[in-house]
Every structure is written in structure tokens, then in C-alpha cells.
Amino acid sequence: MELVIQPDADSAARLVALLIAKALREKPHLVLGLATGRTMERVYAHLVRMHKEQGLDFSLCRTFNLDEYIGIPASHPGSYRFYMNRHLFSQINIDPRNTFLPDGMACDTQSACRHYEELIAEFGGIDLQLLGIGADGHIGFNESLSALRSRTREKALAPSTIAVNRTLFDNPAEMPSRAITMGVGTILDASNIILLVTGSTKAEIIAKAVEGPITSMVSATALQLHPRCRVVVDEHAATRLQAQEYYRWIFATEPEWAEYR
């Protein structure tokens, strides 16, 4: 795991967008794992800008989102499909047929979950998975006690997650309490992972996630097991990290980061 501290939320998001753009230029058929949430909006804004200004090409890229609510259609403004269309897909040259989210409207949720895993495998697995973190340390919708080897499945959301995420709904009562999410094991199968965390409200949980003991109570701690996981945080989220000096030293001196300094 490598951790990079950036001055503010926008430069953190910009760095993540640059890392994604580099991967896409190196491999136009990139299989990209995507995340939702407020934190990601800036990343998608930067990717859209790079597409418009520099011609960043998504025409061959395939995307798989981490999760989707159960019981609201793609046309619902609270659905993750709606979020992705709005913030990214409608503004870049991606083929909509190459964009995948779990089917939260499926009659048979279990077989929809199995199908999602099969689809990811058919495309050769995820090359680069983008992640945010929930207030309780969830990745995707892997709430506390999610098995560290779990696969795509239906999850009941924690009351704390419902309380935070319902503010994104025009009518909070419409926020579903269940979702389909890639499992922690599904996420760990990605070849590369980038976790983006910004803001002081995430300072405590990101310190637990990267420097605390691995525990299913905090799903994000499982990322410590991944051989190619990069974590990008802003100064506000970095305040509780114990090894800040080391992280800053790595970013300032390692050749791999030279082009981003």
C-alpha cells in the first residue's frame, strides 16, 4: 500500500484522475471499476475535462460499478446508474453498452449477483478499481462484518449509512435500505486499486483503515492485503495518520511519483 497526501480535495481528485488517465492511455481496453459518492464527483469532473481538453479516449474502455441500490430504476435520480450517467458517462465518449452496474431491479437478485461476477470474469477481471470509503469504513456497500472473502451479493445497509446517504435523495424516504455490492473479495481481485479519501470527517476512519489491524469490522482494512493499492488523501483527511512523515517522504523522493509532484 502507498499513501499520498495532497494539499486539498481538488488536487487529490485531480491526482486520481491523472492516474486513471495514465492507465487508460497505456491500455485503451481498460476494465475500470468505478465508485459513487460525493468524493468521486471531482474525479469525474477532471476526467470529463481531460476528455474535452485533451481528447482522453474512453471509446474502448469497459466499466463496472461497485454497487447499486435495490428497488429503484435507472431513471431514479438517487440510483447509481443515474449518478454515473450524469457525472461521467453522458459527458465522455464511452459506449453505454460497455458500462455495467449491478441490476438492482432484477426479480432474482441472487442470479443477478452471480451474473455480475461472471461478467467481470468474462472481461478478464478489473484492471483498476476506484474506491471511496464510507463513514464506518465500508468499501462499496460492504458494511461492518462483511466477510473479507465475500463476493457480489445483496446487503442490508447500516442505519448510519442510510442516515448519511439519504441526504442525497430529494425525498429521503425513497432511499432504499438494501443494495447489491461487489464483495470485499471481488474488490481485492482487481489488479490495481486507488482509494480516494478527503475531508476531516474521514480522518479517523482512514487512519483505522490503513494503519489499524485488519478486521471485518472495517472492510477497508482488507485493502492492506492488496499488493497494488494506492491511497490518495487530502490534508484534512490525513490529520490522524501516524506515519505522515514517511508518506510525504515517499511522494517527494520516489521516481514513480516524479511526474505528479
**Which residue numbers are catalytic?**
67, 136, 138, 143
Q: State which of residues 1, 37, 160, 178 lies at the interface with ligand GLP (CB under 6 A).
A: 37
CA of residue 204 relative to chain centroid, distance:
19
C-alpha 1/C-alpha 79 separation (Å) is 31
For residue 125, state whether it binds ligand GLP (rule: CB under 6 A).
Answer: no
Q: Does 35 bind ligand GLP (CB under 6 A)?
A: yes
- DSSP character at residue 158: P
Cell digits for 32?
Answer: 475500470
161 binds ligand GLP, rule: CB under 6 A: yes
Q: How far is CA 98 from the centre of its chain?
A: 18
Site string for ligand GLP, 52-71 (x = CB under 6 A): --------------xx----
Which region among 20-28, 131-139, 203-211, 243-251 touches ligand GLP (by CB under 6 A)?
A: 131-139
Confirm or reject binding of residue 195 to ligand GLP (CB under 6 A). no
* DSSP3 helix / strand / coil % (the chain, rounded to 5): 45, 15, 35
With CB under 6 A as the contact rule, the residue among 6, 36, 63, 150 that binds ligand GLP is 36
Please state the φ and ψ torsions of residue 195, each to the nearest 5 degrees: -105, 125
- Smallest CA-to-CA distance from 103 within 92, 90, 114, 93 is with 114
Total site size for ligand GLP, rule CB under 6 A = 14
Binding-site ranges for ligand GLP (CB under 6 A): 35-39, 66-67, 132-134, 140-141, 161, 165
